[in-house]
Structure formats: structure tokens, C-alpha cells
Amino acid sequence: SHRASICYRPIEPSDREILEQIHCDLFPIRYESEFFQNVVNGQDIVSWAAVDRNRPNGQSDELVGFVTARIVLAKESEIGDMLRYDPSKPDQTLVYILTLGVVGVYRNLGIASSLIQKVVKYASSILTCRAVYLHVISYNDPAIRLYKKMSFQCVRRLQGFYLIDGQHHDSYLFVYYVNGG
């Protein structure tokens, strides 16, 4: 065992294989290879990686956590009605978190909290941005607890939002307002 030294950096093309592997391990949903390509090339997606600089066996630059997000137009989003939205400003944006994950042995160290903070800080720096939002499957208690602790507000429960192995599951929609919401 060793003491973790966590750093945050952009996701790069060389991360692709590990990124894909961790998504496959952590999520019940399959993502297209186009998604991973867009993430590592930064095409329409912003992302951060967490790495452990003290990790042995040449793994000191290997992802142990990640967050991916996309900028969307508020008027084209499903939460346009939940913003203090000024129709005279049609350029209002939101940041939508697509995926967030931390590999098992690195959990409960605050890595996901830090990754969310990166996204919130980034969103706050965009003058047109009004909120960060995301969906989470209704039975994912650790993630729900985390979003609540990070002061995200649960604004909706969406019936049958996810279809996994032929089964429908509800999702919660969480929002964190920035720049006056």
C-alpha cells in the first residue's frame, strides 16, 4: 500500500483505452466508441482526469478517475424552464455532466468531489452559463449522496429514463446553479 498523490490533468488521446475500460467497468450503459474519441480529442466535450503520481508499476499517469461534460444551449435543454432564463438572451448555456467515475480502490478520498468542483469552476467562468446539471439512476445512492453534499438540487424524477437490459429505471435530475442561475 502507498499514500496516494492525486493530480488533475486534461484527458489526452493516450488515455483512450483506459478511459473506455473504466467506463465499461463502472457503468451499466454502453458508450459508443465515437464518445471516447470525442472525449480524448476534446471535441465538444470538456473533461478532467485524476491520476495518482505515487502509483507504482509505471501507472503514475494512468487514470483513476474522470469527469466528462458538454456545453449545451439552455433553450435546447430540458431544464430551460427551471432557470431564471431571460428570453432576450438566447445565448444562455449550461454544462451537462455526461459521466463521472472513480476506480474502486480510490474511492472516498474526495476525488469525485474535486472533479465536480473543476466542472463547477469551469461553468462559473463562462459568462453565459447558468447551471451545471446531470442525470443519475435512482438506485445509485453513493452518487446521489455526493451530489447532495456538493449542494446540487434534485429538481425532477424522470420515469423510465434509463433502459438497461430491457428494464426501465427512473433517473433523478440534479442542478447546480451558477452565475445567478
Contact 22/63 with Cβ under 8 angstroms?
yes
Candidates 35-43, 52-60, 103-111, 122-130; binding stretch for ligand ACO (CB under 6 A)? 103-111
Judged by CB under 6 A, the residue of 142, 155, 157, 168 near ligand ACO is: 142
User: E strands within 4-152?
Assistant: 6-9, 46-52, 63-73, 93-102, 129-137
- Give the alpha-carbon dihedral of 75, 95, 105, 110, to 10 degrees: -120
Window 24 to 43, contacts with ligand ACO (CB under 6 A): 26
Minimum CB separation of residue 106 from ligand ACO in Å reads 7
Residue 53 interacts with ligand ACO (CB under 6 A): yes or no: no
Residue 72: closest CA among 15, 146, 130, 158:
130
Residue 66: closest CA among 143, 9, 129, 123:
9
Residue 62: closest CA among 97, 12, 119:
12
Nearer to ligand ACO, 91 or 165 (CB): 165
Query: Within 13 A of 9's CA, how many CA atoms are on the CB side?
Result: 16
Nearer to ligand ACO, 53 or 89 (CB): 53
Residue 112 interacts with ligand ACO (CB under 6 A): yes or no: yes
**Position closest to ligand ACO via CB:** 110
Residue 99 interacts with ligand ACO (CB under 6 A): yes or no: yes
Q: Which residues bind ligand ACO (CB under 6 A)?
A: 26, 97, 99-102, 107-113, 134, 136, 140, 142-143, 145-146, 149
